[in-house]
Amino acid sequence: MTAWPLAELLPHAGDMILIDSIESFDDEQIYTTLTVKPDGLFNLPDGSLPAWVGIELMAQSVAAFAGCHARQQGKPVELGFLLGTRKFECNVDAFPAGSELTIHGIRSLEDDNGMGVFECHINAPGIEATARLNVFRPPAAADYLVQKKESNDD
């Protein structure tokens, strides 16, 4: 477990923080957990969580990985972007309410420009999901969100 609250590690707020806790992390990987609650933001009428939300669970785990490393280095937590997912596979259509999911993210590569690839897994009894996430954490993320006014000096 980490000493930092999730809200200080993720650029999300309130109900958009889907993972429950960080179990452990090191230089190359992170383990997070989620117990599927029947009344979550994305739940189906039967209380289960659609398997496609697994991509967001993986992405939040990767964001938590980056947040933990930023905090360790005394730096602010920066915004990152999920660019895409490859080979998402899951053996169930939905994660049943009450399921205790473990999300594991392993950094495959990350360059100095902020591009990264993570191999991710979600496991619980009878549940297996995998995906490769392509992520981007630019050095000045706030600049990507500012719309610049074009000059009409012609």
pTM of the model: 0.89
Q: Apex CA 31: angle with CA 27 and CA 32, to 5°?
A: 135
Question: Between residues 6 and 100, which one has the greater pLDDT?
Answer: 100
pLDDT score recorded for residue 36: 97
Supply the mean pLDDT for the chain.
Answer: 90
> Class of 6-142 per CATH?
alpha beta
Q: What is the mean pLDDT of residues 41-64?
A: 97
**52 φ, ψ (degrees, to nearest 5):** -60, -20
* Structure token digits, residue 46: 């039967």
Tens digit of pLDDT for each residue in 101-126? 999 999 999 888 889 999 999 999 99
pLDDT band at residue 153 using 50, 70 and 90 as cut-offs:
low
pLDDT score recorded for residue 150: 60
Q: Which residues contact 149 (CB under 8 A, 6 or more apart)?
A: none
Q: Are 45 and 94 in contact (CB under 8 A)?
A: no
pLDDT band at residue 93 using 50, 70 and 90 as cut-offs:
very high
Angstrom distances, CA of residue 119 to CA of 38, 51, 55 = 28, 17, 11
